[in-house]
Structure 1
Amino acid sequence: MLPQATAHQPSPCRAAAHPILPVAALLLLSSYLAITYLPTAAPILLIAGGGGGGDMISSCAGLYRGRGGGRAVAASVEEFGAVGDGVTSNTAAFRRAVATLEARAAGGGGGARLEVPAGRWLTGSFNLTSRFTLFLHHGALILASQDPEEWPLIAPLPSYGRGRERLGPRHISLIHGEGLNDVVITGNNGTIDGQGRIWWDLWWNRTLNHTRGHLIELVNSTNIMISDITLRNSPFWTVHPVYCRNVVIRNLTVLAPLNAPNTDGIDPDSSSEVCIEDCYIESGDDLVAVKSGWDQYGVSVAMPSSNIIIQRISGTTPTCSGVGFGSEMSGGISNVIVRDLHVWNSAQAVRIKSDVGRGGYITNITIENVRMEKVKVPIRFSRGADDHSDDMYDRSALPRISNVLIRNVVGVDLQRAPMLEAVHGAVYEGICFRNVSFTVIRRQDRWHCESVYGEAHDVFPAPCEEFRKNGSSSWCGPS
């Protein structure tokens, strides 16, 4: 049983202008946009497609525009004194390896690649550099140090104003980078294990002094590729790109105990042109959560998350959501497509969550082709629980939720029908349900809606009155 949450100890399910792509990318997208049915007022979602094959619907990996694995300089971490016995600390070796390879590659433009061979490589936190590939071979296991001193403290993110869990600074991530371009973390299904139990115990025991570190965090960086590895037991959120552009996260397996607190799988945060695809996630929190800053700090920084594709994600989370929006969304979230989502034994499949004081917006969202089994609440719009960065938030700052299309959804063996509750005083409008079927509802088969308005077509069981009185619009009604 998890401890009771407080304003400074979030529950496991509360966390916490863009460049135009080339015209060629827009032309390639035309067939995809034709089937998204976004509202006519919505900006065009400019997502490059095709991981080499030019098929936007099969992959959005073309958003990454770096050199990939083709680096001019390469070396094994063993060359820098690392020992893969699972006992020897290799923190200095990893840090020395990155610095040395960066120097060797300087001036040539070709970048560097650090190889991690089979073995058990214990290390504390280390920073990556630009034009850099970290490659984990089959059988390679990077083990995070369980000494908190090897996770140094760094400044809080400007859009959060403090550590997400505790006031003041926060622990750095195990693998970190800031202000970088062209970073690849990949391999032949090697593994990075955060050994997060010591951090979860601190959280459970209320003895955590500073916000826990992520497993991987890249800040204010561009052209990121994270692929083809397994990530386990993160102390906190697992993959956290924040203030980033052109991010591709694909073919990951992300695992954490289902009661491990706040172990979100993938959290794009104030980031744009993001592709998340073909991942399997088991987590103690959201599988994927789209965020953009917290209360007045997120409003002030004003860096939205936009132009995001999340597709072919599967997994389970008994306390949280397959895909969540928020609750930290004060910088705004727009132009997001979620498709081919499969969730089971979970609290929700999709959840939009906000709070009084957040401000911001969530708009132009398409959620389609969703399957779920044994889910408590299939679709949920929820209010926060007085979860704020400090007491200085603007109590008049309300979120705006609009133009959300949810279609082609099937759920079986559910606890109840959708629960759609607006933040008191906020505007929720333009919500569209099409071709939605929820069967074998065990407790409550009537929809629950409070101040949320829109349309519903071909929906079972029948929606609440707020979705029955409106006429068909061009983007929501049957074509």
Structure 2
Amino acid sequence: MKRLAIVILVLAVFDAIEATGSDGGGYCNCNRIMAPRPHSVTITEFGAVGDGKTLNTVAFQNAVFYLRSFADKGGAQLYVPKGKWLTGSFNLTSHLTLFLEKDAVIIGSQDSSQWPIVDPLPSYGQGQDIPGQRHRSLINGYNLTDVVITGHNGIIDGQGVVWWEWFNSQTLNYSRPHILELVNSTDVVVSNLTFLNSPAWSIHPVYSSNVEILNITVHAPVESPFTNGIVPDSCSNLCIEGCSIEVGHDAIALKSGWDNYGITFSTPSTDIHIRNAHLQAPLGSALAFGSEMSGGISLVYVEHLHIDDSLIGINFKTVPGRGGFIHNIVVSNVEMENVHEAFRFSGNCGRHPGNQYDPSALPIVQGITLKDMVGTNISTAGFFSGIDSDPFTGICLSNIALSITSDASLPWTCSNISGYSESVFPSPCSDLTSNSSLSCFSFAAEFTGLADA
């Protein structure tokens, strides 16, 4: 009777979380109504030529500078009509809508001088690719509010092939840029666009809040090195919905800083909702947490994913010296197809930005729930490997059915990990079959309460 009561409690908590998440709950208000701007200009008014050859960097910079004057008048829209608009890096301004019409393509210049050099982010301490500074992204926002980047499925193409060649040949002078980066910004909507061929990451909101990324398509070739799709980084109250992503590394990757830099900056990624996404990562992870997570990742609710043709389905990755935490995470209602490894928890994944990190700064990974999932043509169910003297705890699996194609006698590998499972096939290793579910699911009640707040 006691065990039955525990199971009923667990199911009730799951239902409460799902009900909270399904209508937006306390995480984010997806699909908010956006009022039209009272003022609008077209990029051609500033001398831009959409022939795919004329460099329009100055035109974009001048247009944004002009539109700053409307910030206290309800804001303004910069309209990009049909055409191929070649440009280097440019900044946005507050109270601005950047609107790309159907068949409008913003193309990133392949001249590296059009991508200025900037300092590394303080939570990283250096560029991602090599030590030192980095190239500024194609489209940037710093300390902005009320920004909309949208259109009728227009395209932003980073033309990353030259950057991938420099990366692979180790001839980069500075770390590669992203397509879109928004820093210390709030009330941001990115919607109804296609992002192609990023030099590195496609969409990178960092230190930002109240961010919605809706109905976005992201694509980069499978051979493009470390081209992540959407990377929420030390962000809060962020929503990703209705997106389709196929890239060379991780499709969606949640991060929060790198080793001692991220620990000192101490800004977690929290209150994040991801739903209704189609993810492909042939050489990476469809959904990744980390490995740069030194500021912490918490209160993340993910639902209704379709993952196919990926190396790893859902990946939690960290390493000694990282510090930080990953906890209070729920991932539910996932379909996987043609995935090599459905789940991975690794405590030995990731490199360090130099030798200044503290190897005793151990990350905390606990309170992770994976539930209501099916998988077909899966090679390996799961690889779960925590850290010696720092095990991952409260890893909860529920209502999961995977069709395993590998001949391996052990579809699960487990070490330095503990948790609870029910209705999971194939049966997980003994580390995940605790007799008590209370320690495993106790976080969920707190999670639900925060979502309702």
Q: Would you say 1:389 and 2:366 are equivalent positions?
A: no
Deviations 1:328-372 (A, max 9, x none): 000000000111111111111100000110000000000101111
Checking the alignment, whether the CA contact within 8 Å between 1:37 and 1:475 is kept in structure 2 is: no
Q: Would you say 1:185 and 2:152 are equivalent positions?
A: no
Q: Would you say 1:468 and 2:436 are equivalent positions?
A: no
| Residue in structure 1 matched with residue 413 of structure 2 by the alignment | 448
Q: Distance in 1 between matches of 2:194 and 2:27?
A: 20
Q: Distance in 2 between matches of 1:243 and 1:106?
A: 22
Q: Would you say 1:293 and 2:261 are equivalent positions?
A: no
Q: Distance in 1 between matches of 2:72 and 2:434?
A: 65
Q: Distance in 1 between matches of 2:82 and 2:40?
A: 16
Q: Would you say 1:335 and 2:315 are equivalent positions?
A: no
| Residue in structure 2 matched with residue 62 of structure 1 by the alignment | 29
Task: Tell me by how many angstroms 1:425 deviates.
Answer: 2.9
Relative to 1, partners in 2 of residues 1:37 and 1:470: Cα closer, same or farther, differing over 3 Å? farther
Task: Tell me by how many angstroms 1:439 deviates.
Answer: 1.0
Secondary structure of 1:453's partner? strand
Task: Tell me by how many angstroms 1:188 deviates.
Answer: 0.3
| Residue in structure 2 matched with residue 408 of structure 1 by the alignment | 372
Worse overlay, 311-320 or 232-241: 311-320
Checking the alignment, whether the CA contact within 8 Å between 1:64 and 1:224 is kept in structure 2 is: no
- From 405, 409, 422, the counterpart of 1:457: 422
Aligned residue runs from structure 1 range 358-397, under 5 A: 358-385=322-349, 387-397=351-361
| Residue in structure 2 matched with residue 35 of structure 1 by the alignment | 15
Q: Distance in 2 between matches of 1:176 and 1:278?
A: 23
| Residue in structure 2 matched with residue 83 of structure 1 by the alignment | 49
Aligned residue runs from structure 1 range 237-248, under 5 A: 237-248=201-212
Task: Tell me by how many angstroms 1:316 deviates.
Answer: 1.2
Task: Tell me by how many angstroms 1:71 deviates.
Answer: 1.3
Checking the alignment, whether the CA contact within 8 Å between 2:367 and 2:440 is kept in structure 1 is: no
Q: Would you say 1:107 and 2:72 are equivalent positions?
A: yes
Task: Tell me by how many angstroms 1:37 deviates.
Answer: 4.8
Secondary structure of 1:237's partner? coil
- From 50, 57, 64, the counterpart of 1:98: 64
The amino acid of 1:408's aligned partner reads D
Deviations 1:139-181 (A, max 9, x none): 1000100000000011100000111111111100000010000
Checking the alignment, whether the CA contact within 8 Å between 2:419 and 2:440 is kept in structure 1 is: no
| Residue in structure 1 matched with residue 217 of structure 2 by the alignment | 253
| Residue in structure 2 matched with residue 205 of structure 1 by the alignment | 169
Question: Percent of counterpart pairs with the same letter?
Answer: 45
- From 390, 394, 397, the counterpart of 1:433: 397
Aligned residue runs from structure 1 range 217-232, under 5 A: 217-232=181-196
Secondary structure of 2:286's partner? strand
Task: Tell me by how many angstroms 1:266 deviates.
Answer: 0.3
* TM-score (structure 1 length as normaliser): 0.86
| Residue in structure 2 matched with residue 14 of structure 1 by the alignment | none
Q: Distance in 2 between matches of 1:162 and 1:419?
A: 31
* TM-score (structure 2 length as normaliser): 0.91
Q: Distance in 2 between matches of 1:61 and 1:418?
A: 31
Relative to 1, partners in 2 of residues 1:142 and 1:33: Cα closer, same or farther, differing over 3 Å? farther
Task: Tell me by how many angstroms 1:276 deviates.
Answer: 0.3
Secondary structure of 1:101's partner? helix
The amino acid of 1:84's aligned partner reads G
Gaps of 5+ in 2: 1-11, 443-453
Checking the alignment, whether the CA contact within 8 Å between 1:327 and 1:384 is kept in structure 2 is: no
Secondary structure of 2:188's partner? strand
Q: Distance in 2 between matches of 1:235 and 1:309?
A: 26
- From 93, 104, 109, the counterpart of 1:129: 93
| Residue in structure 1 matched with residue 111 of structure 2 by the alignment | 147
Aligned residue runs from structure 1 range 267-306, under 5 A: 267-306=231-270
Gaps of 5+ in 1: 1-31, 39-44, 50-54
Task: Tell me by how many angstroms 1:385 deviates.
Answer: 4.6
Q: Distance in 2 between matches of 1:334 and 1:386?
A: 20
Relative to 1, partners in 2 of residues 1:413 and 1:125: Cα closer, same or farther, differing over 3 Å? same
Relative to 1, partners in 2 of residues 1:279 and 1:107: Cα closer, same or farther, differing over 3 Å? closer
Secondary structure of 2:320's partner? coil
Checking the alignment, whether the CA contact within 8 Å between 1:179 and 1:220 is kept in structure 2 is: yes
Task: Tell me by how many angstroms 1:384 deviates.
Answer: 3.4
Task: Tell me by how many angstroms 1:61 deviates.
Answer: 6.0
Relative to 1, partners in 2 of residues 1:386 and 1:173: Cα closer, same or farther, differing over 3 Å? closer
Checking the alignment, whether the CA contact within 8 Å between 1:64 and 1:223 is kept in structure 2 is: no
Secondary structure of 1:338's partner? strand
Q: Distance in 1 between matches of 2:132 and 2:146?
A: 30
Task: Tell me by how many angstroms 1:476 deviates.
Answer: 4.3
Q: Distance in 2 between matches of 1:125 and 1:320?
A: 28
Checking the alignment, whether the CA contact within 8 Å between 2:27 and 2:237 is kept in structure 1 is: no
